[in-house]
Amino acid sequence: MSTLVMGVLNVTPDSFSDGGRFTAAEAAIARGRELVAQGARIVDVGGESTRPGATPVPVEEEQRRVLPVIRALAAEGIETSIDTIHAETARAAVAAGARSINDVSGGTHDPAMLDVAARAASEHGARFIIGHWRGVPDPAHQRSDYADVVAEVRDALAERARAAIAAGVDRGLIVLDPGLGFDKTGEQCWRLLAHLDRLTELGYPVLVGASRKRMIAEALAGVGIEADPAARDLATSVVTALVAGSAWGVRVHDVAGSAQALAVAEAWQAAGAETRPAPETRPAPETRPAVDMGSAQDMADPPRTGISTADSMSTGGAGSEDRIVLTGLEVFAHHGVFDFERQNGQRFIIDAEVSVDLRAAASGDALERTVHYGELAEAIAAAVERDPVDLIETVAERVAGVALGFAGVRRATVTVHKPDAPIAAAFADVAVTVVRP
């Protein structure tokens, strides 16, 4: 799995490490462009500090800070997320172009957040990043009383994911964040990182946010190094290298350093995969369904449907040519401009191709190291069936967002066919294709 970099963009006067540098919209927009040029896939825009002791910000002020920045970056094709614990800000940010909601409280601070996240997922294909905390950050660690921090954080995140799904968030659009530094001592944070596999076993992508945090300062102090926040970037990049391939993403201030760390880690992992013996070849079963849904929603050989994994693992230094292809997934839905389309519904046929590094999965014959194509098909079908819209362009964008929510997916190419479109002239097909990110 290729780990992506999420660049931190604080448009606040009081964030713990870079507060005040990007309070002007022009400076923040320029910084967002710079983060992408350095290797960020996502720019995480925040307008309220969550450091211990920070002063709460009125929602109106938070939105005044973040919305112009998100709107401008999104207009340039830069993927953004909104770092907020407020549902109204999340709603406004998604409307402005944000494609992820990053809530460090996991939807516990604002009861309306789950409904906003569900609507953002269904209408815009927006991810919901669920963070773990026990409340507004407490510098005295009075709430850091875990008997088993890994098990308790894992269970709490699983519960929040279930709540999000129950509210209507697509499972494929959920990302989990263990909330390093939020009511956790440095020792507990390192324990979570050392047992990151316990979190990824839940089946969701995991975001790691250790950048410049106190846990790193404490580790450096243990060897006699006094480091202010910005001087912790080298150590942050080491964390990035250590979680590469396990974490879906890392949220960092120093994007360039983490991008370099990931490049080295991926080259190291690729070299290791090449030296391991190939897994034993197993005979294929006599018959196989066109789509393995992996659940009770099995599909019985729908027309034009097939799934293939491209066998290009030896090309590209980082597995960039590997892909999983799902074609001809037929879904009945009610999208369309005309009233009769909304009322009667019609067929939509979906083709989806996702770029993902498949070497680790192949070398270890490990399902958890690839994209489960049955779950992908299931998630795409659910996304297409939900909430009628006018345009198949919107449907394609929604499906691409779902595909990009799967761990390890770097790019998604989605085509939505509308073979029964109300066109007077004779035609074979009409389709829209989008390529994301």
DSSP helix/strand/coil, 336: coil
Q: Is 153 exposed, middle or buried (0-12, 13-18, 19+ CB in 10 A)?
A: buried
The answer, yes or no, to whether residue 290 has pLDDT greater than 80, is no
**171, 262: one domain:** yes
The answer, yes or no, to whether residue 300 has pLDDT greater than 50, is no
CA 275, CA 226: separation in Å to the nearest integer?
A: 41
Residue 44 to residues 47, 73, 335, Cα–Cα distance (Å): 10, 11, 32
DSSP helix/strand/coil, 249: strand
Q: pLDDT at position 222, please? A: 86
Q: pLDDT at position 282, please? A: 46
**254, 312: one domain:** no
CB 110, CB 128: distance < 8 Å: no
Rank 134-143, 149-158, 372-381 by mean pLDDT and report only the highest: 149-158
The catalytic residues are 213, 251
Please report whether residue 224 resides in a domain: yes
Query: CATH number for the domain including 240?
Result: 3.20.20.20
Out of 221, 242, 268, pick the residue that ends a domain.
268
The answer, yes or no, to whether residue 434 has pLDDT greater than 60, is yes
The pLDDT-based confidence of 340 (bands split at 50, 70, 90) is confident
**320, 413: one domain:** yes
**369, 314: one domain:** yes
Please report whether residue 301 resides in a domain: no
**256, 333: one domain:** no
Please report whether residue 319 resides in a domain: yes
Out of 243, 268, 293, pick the residue that ends a domain.
268
**386, 340: one domain:** yes
Please report whether residue 291 resides in a domain: no
Per DSSP, the residues of 117-150 read HHHHHHHH--EEEEE--SSS--TT-TT---SSHH
> What average pLDDT does the segment 369-391 reach?
90
**263, 310: one domain:** no
pLDDT > 70 in the chain, percent: 85
CA 125, CA 123: separation in Å to the nearest integer?
A: 6
The answer, yes or no, to whether residue 233 has pLDDT greater than 90, is yes
Q: Helices 233-243 and 214-221 meet at what angle, rounded to 10?
A: 100
**113, 206: one domain:** yes
**193, 315: one domain:** no
Nearest to 165 by CA among 197, 111, 121: 121
Q: pLDDT (tens digit, 9 = 90+) per residue, 67-124?
A: 999 999 999 999 999 999 999 999 999 999 999 999 999 999 999 999 999 999 999 9
CA 158, CA 19: separation in Å to the nearest integer?
A: 33
Out of 268, 293, 314, pick the residue that ends a domain.
268
In the chain, the number of structural domains is 2
Please report whether residue 189 resides in a domain: yes
**246, 357: one domain:** no
Domain holding 319, by residue range, is 306-436
Please report whether residue 278 resides in a domain: no
Query: CATH number for the domain including 403?
Result: 3.30.1130.10
Please report whether residue 300 resides in a domain: no
**263, 316: one domain:** no
**256, 319: one domain:** no
Q: How far is CA 228 from the centre of its chain?
A: 30
Would you state the structure tokens that stand for residue 313, as one six-digit string? 């693992």
Please report whether residue 257 resides in a domain: yes
